[in-house]
Copies of this chain bind each other. A is one copy, B any other.
Amino acid sequence: MEQRQRLPDRKSKVTVREVARRAEVSESTVSRIMRNTGLVAEDTREKVMEAVRAMGYVPNRIAGSLASLDAFLVGVVIPSLSNIVFPEVLQGIQAGLEATDLQAVISTTDYDIDREEAMVRGILAWKPAAILLAGFEHTATTRLMLNQSGIRVVEMMDIDSPPIDVAVGTSHRRAGHAIGRHLIGRGYRRFGYVGHDWTADHRARLRYEGLCQALAESGLTVEAHARAEGPSSVGTGRAQTARLRAEAPGVQVAVYSNDDMAVGGVFHCLATGVTLPDQFAIFGFNGLDIGRDLPQPLSTLRSHRYLIGRRSIEAILAAPERPAARQVIDTGFEIFPGETA
């Protein structure tokens, strides 16, 4: 089937020079044609394009970018790809990039700000048009590099701190607060919390703080906690729910650090015959698709990860130069009542 193609020019790289020679024009003419700029006679354009096709010429962006001092890359540095929210943000970024000639260079940090520093340094070396990060926690050196670079910097996910340049996301503190208000409104009084390690996940902690504040405003507290050491997962949520139920049987409703954990809680209840939400109620965070498709839809708060990626790109396209003033773009959230709380 797949036969080795005859390679017009294997190792002998084809550059503007070769194309120009073959089309019997100057290099600048080829350059103009490739970039659709300036005026070119129709027949010379065709002559050149034929050479381009025949030789399989692909302009070298490395050289082009160096010569024009233009940027054609956008750096993206995220903590991880295993938490589904980040791929969702990437989807928004890819969508935003679609009509442009920018491409994304993506690195992950494993929630380590020193690794983030290394990734940022590596990406800045490519002189990107902008760089997108998650959150506000960076090393001093990272901040310094980001500022010196002069390029657009988007801090995504969170808007609870002042950004370096632009922040795009939602207030996790307010989200936690809204969850508290909502559940109090539904009559719950005895609260539990099921979560994962938040030394790495700063935003989970902000949500927890917002929740506590809402409860405090009604004279309530979180009575019981079940927090795992590792990252969030369905399995962890399931195990921690079992623990919470055993240690604090009086708790009416548990707020979970996110939907993965909450789905684990639902599975625990399904497996042990606990009726939701009467015997025990569960409230998540994120609005993952899977929550909606559970036998009983998960009660949760929807954030908009895709939108965060999209808006981040839109923000930098709208103003390629870093403005004097900082900007905060709130992508909002909504309570999804569901049937588990």
Contact = CB atoms under 8 A, between A and B. Distances in A.
Interface of A: 1-2, 4-5, 7-11, 56, 58-66, 73, 80-82, 84, 86-88, 90-91, 94, 101, 103-108, 121-127, 143-145, 147-150, 161-162, 164, 233-235, 238, 263-264, 267, 270-271, 289-290, 292-295
Contacts of A144: 5, 56
Q: How many copies does the complex hold?
A: 2
B81 A5 contact: no
Contacts of A106: 90, 104-106
B292 A235 contact: yes
A82 B73 contact: no
Contact of A234 (B9, B143, B293): B293
A61 to B, nearest CB: 4
Contacts of A162: 1-2
Contact of A73 (B84, B88, B105, B234): B105
Among all A-B residue pairs, the 3 with the closest Cβ atoms: A271-B295, A61-B125, A87-B87
A234 B8 CA distance: 48
B150 A11 contact: yes
Given A1-B162, A94-B108, A234-B290, 8 more contacts: A4-B147, A58-B149, A61-B126, A61-B127, A66-B66, A82-B91, A104-B107, A264-B293
B148 A62 contact: no
Contacts of A62: 62, 65-66, 126-127
A4 to B, nearest CB: 7
A178 B23 CA distance: 57
A270 B296 CA distance: 10
Contacts of A127: 60-62
Given A7-B148, A62-B66, A294-B267, A164 B2 contact: yes
Contacts of A121: 58
A127 B334 CA distance: 44
Contacts of A108: 91, 94
Contacts of A107: 94, 103-104
A150 B126 CA distance: 23
Contact of A238 (B61, B65, B293): B293
A122 B100 CA distance: 11
Given A61-B125, A62-B127, A127-B60, A293 B8 contact: no
A30 to B, nearest CB: 15
A30 B17 CA distance: 32
A125 B57 CA distance: 10
